[in-house]
Amino acid sequence: MSDGLVKILDGNTFVVSDDRGDIEASLTDPTGLFSYDTRFLSKWVLTLNGQRLNPLSVDDLQYFETRFFLVPGTGTVYVDAKISVIRQRAVGNGFHESLTILNHDAKPVALTIRVEAASDFADLFEVKDALAKKGKYEARVQDGCLRLAYERETFTRATLISATAPVRLDKNGLTFRVKIDPHEAWATDLDVTTVLFGYGERHEQPKLAGSRGRQSMEGNLERWLGDAPRVECDWEPLKATYRRSLVDLAALRFAPPVAGGRSLPAAGLPWFMTMFGRDSIFTSLQALPFTPELAATTLRALGSWQGTRVDDFRDEDPGRILHEMRYGELTAFEERPQSPYYGCADATPLYVVLLDEYERWTGDRKLVRDLENEARAALGWIDDYADLQGNGYVSYKRRNEQTGLENQCWKDSWDSISYRNGKLPGFPRATCELQGYAYDAKLRGARLAREIWKDRELAERLEKQAADLKRRFNRDFWVADDEYFALALDPDGNQVDALASNNGHLLWSGIVDKSKAKAVVRHLMGRRLFSGWGVRTLAEGEERYNPIGYHVGTVWPFDNSFIAWGLRRYGFKDEAAMIAAGILDAAEFFDGRLPEAFGGYERRLTKYPVQYPTACSPQAWSTGTPLLLLRTMLGLEPVGEHLVVDPALPFGIGRVELLDIPGRWGRVDAFGRGRVEVGRAQQRLRQQLGEGG
């Protein structure tokens, strides 16, 4: 499945073009060359003798490199091309493009080769919201380069374009006039370099050094893949999906200035190629058994930007972990608050969860000691700033009414939190999963306090608070008549009673009383929530249910991976395997690359999962989903200095081996094979869902 766009990326920089390699961006079109939230090229169009080209094929060589095969078009069905064109593009800091034109004729050919180039230097928020620019543009030929520039006070961005072959440069592009002999070729290299000047500092990003730069990036990818565990299994699509996940995770590595050259997961392409607290934490949790260094960088980077003051514009509080960090024009002039913006209620408790899980997996106590102050501040935020109503629950209400987020949970669209009748509650809102995260953070913080910080008093206080929170939560959020947990509590303490996938996150956090778990699982695996491909964000039958609504009926792979982890925590192995089977089946239809979300239609109605029209792809926590599903299928759990393996594989998957798993134990292997009783249980579940035997 494809959206028709060709995307290549390398962390801070990415290019989105059509299948000819051309870029023709409108203000609201997310195509172009982007770096640090600015579009540095909005036009890059190749013509031969004034004629546009037709694509033959596109080779996805690596996540950072693509090759386009093209021919001149005739406007007819049959094309008898005597000329073919190869564009090979590698993105780095800017991009390098090798352009080759082949003459297949028995006579020479004279060509005028033109590359039209322009930049609107749009901030990514301007692209999303169709906002007008306020600065001045300039285009000039200088020192053998075409220089496109934009300036607004001290904020400047520029694009430098050059070629290795003789070329005539003008303000609108590059022109080559060449003669190619029979059966010969002509070639040139094109370099596009981005220049940043803002925030009081000039930064010119180095050009990608052609083949040397490509070799360096290829070597980096080989090391990345070589360091990760190896999967061997009977089901080939799982191996392909696993490799796709590792490669996409490598592509999404983002090195923020505070990280000292180390990388953390950016949220996703095209809108979210930057540091997001919630997304980076969830992805780091998913990837811990495979690439634990991502978690360490995420913890350090988010800790360095932890809130220190009360700032209503940025929804900042002391101890709060950021939601989003941006580097574009609107942020620089405080027309948007993402410098950084702190408007999420879940990243802060999740920060403590990740710190504890990282230590449990790696044994890296030094990092826990280094980040003790940050973790204590995060735990303090839960009690001192997140309890907006004084009822002991984490809730949220934005203070920036103009550009802040209304919903500050992971389902952050405007209509995601509703009663069963479709009405929206007021603010503050206390969504159920936030209480689970807070409960988990307190218990994990207690362990760190007792075992590493040697603060027994703090440990006992946190454990007492967690026990009290669990008791009250199971009383106040439980919808007794239907036996599930309400989506939220409204400002009056009434239940926002829609049935949603958030119940699965409650299992993951451990806040659910064991006596209630079976009923919760019955809902998660019932027809209203489980589509056969995965658990829907909102149950069928709720007033706002829409199978292609962003958070009101679609299936989110990341959501399902944590639900599966929660099912394993409570001992529901077969059900966890069933979710893994549905999501991994869906991945096969997306060529191993799970999108941000896909349609919540019943599997009986579709032979393949229905695409969600504007889903990010690749997206970090979707990329991490197969990794966490592997962990849940194999039942991997660190216990002391050892890794416990307790496999429960989906029906029909056969043998799975995960080799060289890194952790405090060094490197170990895990093996699993489908059990007959598990297969039968999953067959029964499929029959209940109308899937047949």
pLDDT digits (tens, 9 = 90+) for 594-641: 999 999 999 999 888 999 987 888 899 999 999 999 999 999 999 999
Query: Which tens digits make up the pLDDT trace of 652-680?
Result: 888 999 999 999 999 999 999 976 455 55
pLDDT of residue 614: 78
Mean pLDDT (the chain, rounded) = 92
Distance CA 623, CA 616 (A): 11
Of these ranges, 211-225, 463-477, 613-627, the one predicted with the greatest mean pLDDT is: 463-477
Query: Which tens digits make up the pLDDT trace of 509-567?
Result: 999 999 999 999 999 999 999 999 999 999 999 999 999 999 999 999 999 999 999 99
For the beta carbon of residue 644, count every other beta carbon within 10 angstroms.
12
For residues 70-104, b (16+ Cβ closer than 10 Å) or e, as one string?
bbbeeeeeeeebebbbbbbbbbbbbbbbbbebbbe
CB-count exposure of residue 479 (10 Å: 0-12, 13-18, 19+): middle
Report which DSSP code applies to 218: H
Query: Which tens digits make up the pLDDT trace of 428-467?
Result: 999 999 999 999 999 999 999 999 999 999 999 999 999 9
Q: From residue 264, how far is each of 257, 267, 292, 298 by CA, in Å? A: 11, 10, 11, 5
List the beta bridge partners of residue 73.
none
Supply φ then ψ for residue 112, to 5 degrees.
-110, 110
At 202, the amino acid letter reads R
Query: Which tens digits make up the pLDDT trace of 494-506?
Result: 999 999 999 999 9
pLDDT of residue 606: 87
CA 181 to chain centroid, in Å, comes to 49
Question: At 202, is the pLDDT very low, low, confident or very high (cuts 50, 70, 90)?
Answer: very low
Whether residue 56 contacts residue 69, with contact meaning beta carbons closer than 8 Å, is answered with yes
Residue 560, sorted as left (phi over 0), alpha (psi -120 to 50) or beta, turns out to be alpha
Question: At 216, is the pLDDT very low, low, confident or very high (cuts 50, 70, 90)?
Answer: confident
| Mean of pLDDT values over 220-233 | 94
Query: Which tens digits make up the pLDDT trace of 31-80?
Result: 999 999 999 999 999 999 999 999 999 998 888 999 999 999 765 555 56
Residue ranges of domains in the chain, CATH in brackets: 6-216 (2.70.98.40), 228-688 (1.50.10.10)
